[in-house]
Amino acid sequence: MEDIFTKVKNLAAGADDTQRKELIIALRDLSISLEKPDDSLERIAYSPLPLMGAKMGKDLGVFQRLSSDSSNVGLKPLAEETGADPLLLGRILRYLSSVKMIEEPDLDTFTANHVTFALASPKGESYIDVYYELACPHFYEMPRFFKKRGYVTPTDPSNVPLQDAFNFKGDIFALAEAFPEKGELFDRHMKLSRDCFTNWSNITSILQEREQSHADEVVFVDVGGGVGHQCARLKAHYPNLSGRVVLQDLERVIHNASPIPGIEMMAYDIFTVQPIKGAKCYYSRGVLHDFPDDKCKIILHNTVVAMGSDSIILIDEKVLPDKNINWQATSLDLQMLSGLASQERLRSHWELLLGSAGLRIVDFLPHTSGGYEGIIVAAKAI
């Protein structure tokens, strides 16, 4: 048995990122295939607890404390530092150790592992807070909501499990505006959660083919681009880009955005006609997955009518295979369903949606080999 573990570890050590992820999925599937019925039932029944444990660990400062110390830390000093009852803290820490968020090298002694460092990072803390505070409440409402409504797909973002969870009438964006602390959690998570996904070499190669000969022409419009994180990254990766780069979002978002050298900022509502005509590239990242199909058709049509003969739309989203989708993507799909009446779309679904708006898919450029995240390149159908 030890030989098998050693071979797997050696295989993982020599794997690239795509192979590493494939190995994780294969080992997870193998683990599930070895389960007896009671094993499966316990795994499913206890599945909400890791996030709850992580939230307590984060709030107590355990992950920060352990990740800042290269040596082992005893229960007693941890209790003194956190102010927690040693008996209660010990139980929480032993749970965290059992699910590998921390390590327990000796009796009442704890230390960090690679998961601890992930949870102590700004991105890790954001995941814990936003899923505990915003996502899980509407996850828990899904069974009741869909049973009560006969398991019909919702199309109104103001009538999904989210409203039942928070006893609120508006959609998630209205919720974030009505409760600023929730809005701050949401905005911070959006900034941190997807930093690593965009493959800028794909985008810059497209832009190199479409650079403007005149500096006053628009080469790149970031539609619904928030406060400009992607525009800033574009400029960092392609500082000599010829042509104007424009960031668009709602007026309240643009008002709060800090100036970015070389980036023009424009207040714009995606449900109105695109005011910039004939730009080379209209880019959107994670916008369409926030809306059901009928709203997406309006958004796309508003851009199509502004496109020139050589304009393209770059859609930075997940494109899912038609079968055997990984659990992370299907989980996010249910999250979009219960929070926004929207979805993560299959390749075939993207083709239908874009076709209905007068577009055709020219190419799909994945950000990583074998990954779902990537750039859909779309042009006018005629």
Give me the phi and psi of 129, to 5 degrees please.
-70, -45
Alpha-carbon distance of 35 to 55, in angstroms, equals 28
**341 in Cβ contact with 159 (< 8 Å):** yes
Position 80 confidence tier, pLDDT thresholds 50, 70, 90: very high
What's the pLDDT at 84?
Answer: 98
- The CATH number for 200-380, chosen from 3.40.50.150, 2.60.120.640, 3.20.20.70, 3.10.20.30, is 3.40.50.150
What's the pLDDT at 213?
Answer: 61
User: Mean pLDDT over residues 137-157, rounded?
Assistant: 97
| pLDDT-above-90 percentage for the chain | 77
Alpha-carbon distance of 280 to 27, in angstroms, equals 45
Q: Is the pLDDT of residue 183 over 80?
A: yes
- The CATH number for 1-120, chosen from 1.10.760.10, 1.10.10.10, 1.10.3720.10, 3.20.20.140, is 1.10.10.10
Position 2 confidence tier, pLDDT thresholds 50, 70, 90: confident
In tens, the pLDDT along 313-341 reads 999 999 999 999 999 999 999 999 999 99
Active site residue 289: yes
**Which among 229, 289, 301, 349 is annotated as catalytic?**
289
Alpha-carbon distance of 119 to 38, in angstroms, equals 30
Question: CA dihedral in degrees (70, 71, 76, 79; nearest 10)?
Answer: 10
pTM of the model: 0.90
Alpha-carbon distance of 34 to 373, in angstroms, equals 31
CATH 1.10.10.10 range(s) for the chain read 1-120
Position 195 confidence tier, pLDDT thresholds 50, 70, 90: low
The total of other beta-carbon atoms located within 10 Å of residue 27's CB is 12
Partners of 380 in beta bridges: 359
CATH 3.40.50.150 range(s) for the chain read 200-380
Question: Residue 182 burial by CB count (10 A; 0-12/13-18/19+): exposed, middle or buried?
Answer: middle
